Amino acid sequence: MDKRQRSAFPQDFLWGGAIAANQAEGAYKEGGKGLSIADLHFYTSEKTYGSMKEDAALKNVKQSLVLDPNKYYPKQSGIDFYHTYKEDLALMQQMGSQCFRTSFNWPRIFPNGDEEQPNEEGLLFYDRLIDEMLALGIEPLMTISHYEMPLHLVSQYGGWANRKLVDFFSRFCEVLFERYHSKVKYWITFNQINLISFNSVGLLRDRYENYQQATYQAIHHQLVAQAMAKMIASQYRSDLMVGTMLSDKIAYPATCKPEDQLFSLRKNQMQYFFSDVSMRGHYPGYAFRYFEENGIQVEFAPDDEQLLQQYPMDYLAFSYYYTKLNDSFKDSFDPTDKSSNPYLKSSEWGWEIDPLGLRIALNNYYDRYECPLFITENGLGAHDVVEANGEIHDPYRISYINDHLVQIAEAIRDGVEVLGYCLWTPIDIVSCGTAEMSKRYGLIYVDRDDEGQGSGKRLLKDSYFWYKDVIRTNGDKLEK
């Protein structure tokens, strides 16, 4: 569409929703599946929501990497999407969903991650899942790696700090692109590649003297691996869209003091680092300065720089939930150490609600890369109440989504190219960070509690019918 004519959501805008295999599928032992790092993320009721930071499977597991029979691991059962996907996808299709983002469960296809041949039974599940989406007229958006690394790759190889994982991941990608290139157009290499606090690189902190060194070496291997994924994909179809994904963590300067401005600039640069390399194809100078100042030496193989330059990503996907402040007086350079914005209200989990920040983020990314953008996660986690008649009234969720969609429309008017919007989530799933069910994002309620009890029955919330109308009208009736 001509940028001079953008005034609303384009007609080919993709409306949909997103989940992750490890939070939804369950069936952690079925079909020859191996253990993933998510399968060891146990539930604990000890929470402090106001000060909660992101948690991760390996942070809970620590060194043991062994299941404890006295603990409950919610992601092993999820919402049983492995068995209910047809019914769940039908509900999404009835809502009008035009796309659906989910992920391949790596150990369902390569149980240990280092096998020469894939597990055919695992692939057959994704055959059925993707075919069902296509039969319903839903565009598949598939994430290759979404916090589902085979546990064996952590225990035996030390995760992504080991260069061998580039080869294992490339073999995984080769299998996926060969099998699904004719069915799946949109791909994401790594979910939230910059969110290293989730330990998605598979490093156990206390096994490394210089954890930062190991982390950035692991990230380098992921950046090389996704370039190789793009190279593999290009051998099958020239129109495949292979993108990377960020968790938007760009923060505002706390004040207009020059010290806060510079501190925020430098800290934000190390968030842009991941997409700068992915989209521009080379390491920026500010990253090398950061490495030098922090005693980090990233090892490059001879062909790495050429590979990164030759195979940048086709589009940038990102999740957006909240914003923070960078305060040069209060905060360290640690990416998780940020201050709260006193001008914003927060969710029950202490996440600031900032719809205008989404318009700012879209403009910043588009100005920086001039590439298509895809919002692949955005939503509100909240406690929902089922009324006696089975109805679920969630005006807080409707308000949150509405206000963020309004700002997406404004960004489109600004000239930003936005491919689509995947709501997190169309259906309740286990929380990524806290392994709860009570932190509900879905428009479809799943009758299961934090302890795994419940019928599993699906109920439609008010937000389901509201989003259905948004999709039907292509966003024309949003409340501004």
Residue with tokens 């939804």: 24
Beta carbons of 28 and 40 less than 8 angstroms apart: no
Handedness of CA 28, 33, 36, 40 (dihedral sign): positive
Predicted TM-score of the model (pTM): 0.94
Domain boundaries, the chain: 3-472
* CA dihedral (126, 129, 133, 139) positive or negative: negative
Contact 165, 152 (CB under 8 A): no
Alpha carbon separation from 191 to 29, 367, 381 (Å, rounded)? 23, 22, 19
> Residue 202, by phi and psi: left (phi above 0), alpha (psi -120 to 50) or beta?
left
Is there a contact between 75 and 38 (Cβ–Cβ < 8 Å)? yes
Q: How many CB atoms lie within 10 A of CB 295?
A: 9
* pLDDT given for residue 59 in this prediction: 53
pLDDT for res 6: 53
* Distance between CA atoms of residues 98 and 81, nearest Å: 19
Query: Quick one: pLDDT at residue 78?
Result: 97
Q: Say if residues 443 and 423 touch (Cβ distance below 8 Å).
A: yes
Nearby residues of 460 by Cβ (< 8 Å), 6 or more positions away: 91, 392, 443, 444, 445
Query: CB of 18 within 8 A of CB of 376?
Result: yes
Cβ contact 18:424 at 8 Å: yes
Q: What is the pLDDT of residue 209?
A: 82
Say whether 377 is catalytic.
Answer: yes
Helices (H) and strands (E) in the chain, counts: 14, 12
- The CA R_g of the chain, rounded to the nearest whole Å, is 21
Residue 166 CB burial class (10 angstroms; 0-12, 13-18, ≥19): buried
pLDDT recorded at residue 47: 57
Low-confidence ranges of the chain (pLDDT < 50): 1, 4, 49-57, 60-61, 63
The C-alpha angle 215, 221, 226, rounded to 5 degrees, equals 125
pLDDT, position 409:
97
Separation CA 479–CA 403 (nearest Å): 8
- CA atoms of 37 and 18, how far apart (whole Å): 20
Give the Cα separation of 69 and 371 in Å (integer).
48
Given this model, what pLDDT does residue 65 score? 78
Instruction: List the structure tokens of 8.
Output: 């609303």
Q: What is the pLDDT of residue 60?
A: 46
Q: Which CATH superfamily is domain 3-472 in?
A: Glycosidases (3.20.20.80)
Position 417 scores a pLDDT of: 97
Write down the pLDDT at residue 169: 98
Annotated active-site residue in 352, 377, 417, 436: 377
